[in-house]
Structure formats: C-alpha cells, structure tokens
Amino acid sequence: MTLGHSSDMPDAGEVRLAVDDAELFACLGFRWDRERVCRPVDVASIPEVLAAFDRDMAGHVWAAAVLEGNPFTYPEVQTLLEGITVGGHKLSDEQQILRLRDGYVLVRDLVRSGEFRLTKQTSDEVHAAIAREEALEWGQFRGEGSLVTSVTVNLGRFGAHEPPATTPGGANLREIHCRGLHALEACESPFERASAYFLFAAANQLYFDGNKRTARTMMNGVLLSAGIHAVLVPAQERVTFNDAMVDFYVTRDATAAMDLLGSCGPRVQESRDRMARITREARQNAGLDVDRGAGRARA
C-alpha cells in the first residue's frame, strides 16, 4: 500500500517553519523541557532497528495489550501470532491482539518501503487496522462519520480530561491536527517530534477509541524511519505509564512522559537498565534473589 504525502504536511524539501518554544507549546496545548527531552538517543540503520522491531513483535503486541487491560500472557501472544489458537480467552481479547499485530506490520512495511509519513492519511490507515470492530467508527476522526458524540478520558481522583468536541464533519479536529503537524516541524530531533506527536494525538482524542494505540504506533513509525529503536513500554510498567499519562493530562507538562518513552527503547542503555531492574524485582518477588557472592539462590 502506498501512502504518499498529504496536504497536512509540507514536502520534505520545504524549509521548516520558524516556530519558537512559546508558539510551539501554544499550538500543541502542552509544554516540556526541550533541553532535557532532546538529550541524545541511540541511532542505528533503518534495517537494524526494523530487524529488532520484528524480533520483538510479540513483546510490542503484548505490552500494548497489557496497557489496554488485555489478559493474554506473553507466551499466549507468541502462540497466537504463530497462528495457533489459544483457548480460555474472549474472542474480543484475541482479536485485539491480532489487530495490534496488523497495525504494527502496516507501519513496519511502510517504513521498510520508505513510504511512512506522519500524516492523517497514515494515521487513519493505522487506526483502521488497530481499532476495527472495536471503536464506534474506525479509520476516520471523530465527527467525520455518522456519529457525533462526546468523549472523555477518566483520570480517577483528578476527574476527567475533556478533549475538543466532536462536531459534524470533524473539521475542527482536522484543523487541530494540521496545525499540530506543522508546529512539530520545528522539532529537529526525531525523538522529540515523535514523542510530542504521541502526546498531542492522545490529548486530542482524534478517534472514538484506540487513540493511544494508534498514536504510539505512529510515534514508532517516526522513530524507525530515523533509525531509532521503537518505544516498548514494558507491561510491568503499566502503572508507571498510566501515572505519567494522568500527570500529563492534569499538568499539561509532557517532560516526565517523554522521559519515560525515551527510556523504553530509544535510549538503549536506559532501556537496558529499566529491564534489568524489572527482572531483578521479579526474581526477588518470586524468591529467586541471587546471592552473587555465594553463587547460589536464596529462598
């Protein structure tokens, strides 16, 4: 499938817009510490990061599913992606796993062919793959279809986040999205641009459902296209991720959320340190803490 340039982004050869920090933040609706977020990330070749993404496909799918409350275990996701049915689960949970896989494969193939673009058209294609039969409508922004209904994001004790209204035809969301994409052209760092897009799309709830899944997939398309490892928020960090998102919605400061995303793939050593901590804590909780000095496990 070919997804070319869209009118909602300038051609690659055009000069990027001169947008200062205040204008960028005002356009996107939130702020962040640009110096901190633009710390270096690890860059490799596109084939190398795509190979890593392929190897970790089951991990990406499982982690994203866990963030949605899906009960499939990692071995069960591996089995299902190998084409073998797993019993004991609702069909809707199984279909969510397969749709996540479909969305990731779509973006992987677009990056591999050099056709991935950060546009509404690509986002709609990704959403149609990920949220088909799950969202009220899929593959189009709120209001572009036949439904006009409001959405909110439950923030627990902090109340609710209310994104822009759903209006007939969806022109307001298209305009917001277009302005946001143009503002993001001011971000020279692919990681900054990708992570800011994820939070921008999540804050505006462009679709009736599947917003974070779609936005994370688009974010990873930007990263992979730049030779940066995709973000994989470990399933064990579900609470940390949810807390970071609530903090973002409440404070409109994206720094902590962007830090978390950077330490889950793009900054390789930070990502390894995070996984080492997760593994160490899991072994300790299971009574398998290793006494390295004695070379034996302690009960």
Per-residue model confidence as pLDDT tens digits over 267-299: 999 999 999 999 999 899 888 765 544 444 444
Q: Which of 274, 296, 298 is nearest to 288 (CA)?
A: 298
The pLDDT value given to residue 16: 43
**pLDDT digit string, tens, across residues 38-53:** 999 999 999 999 999 9
Once rounded to an integer, what is the mean pLDDT over residues 127-147? 95
Please say whether the beta carbons of 142 and 151 come within 8 A.
Answer: yes
Q: Report pLDDT digits (tens) over 181-215.
A: 999 999 999 999 999 999 999 999 999 999 999 99
* Residue 247 amino acid letter: D
Give the pLDDT band of residue 6 (cuts 50, 70, 90). Answer: very low
* Residue 253 β-bridge partners: 31
* Angle at the Cα of 218 from the Cα atoms of 191 and 60, rounded to 5 degrees: 90
Percent of the chain having pLDDT more than 90? 86
**Domains recognised in the chain with CATH numbers:** 44-231 (1.10.3290.10)
Q: For residue 20, what pLDDT is reported?
A: 86
What pLDDT was estimated at residue 221?
98
Cα(275)–Cα(286) distance, integer angstroms: 16
Residues 109-123: pLDDT tens digits?
999 999 999 999 999
Q: For position 29, what pLDDT does the model report?
A: 97
- The residues, any chain, with a CB within 8 Å of residue 86's CB and separated by 6 or more, are 72, 76, 79, 80, 94
pLDDT of residue 164: 97
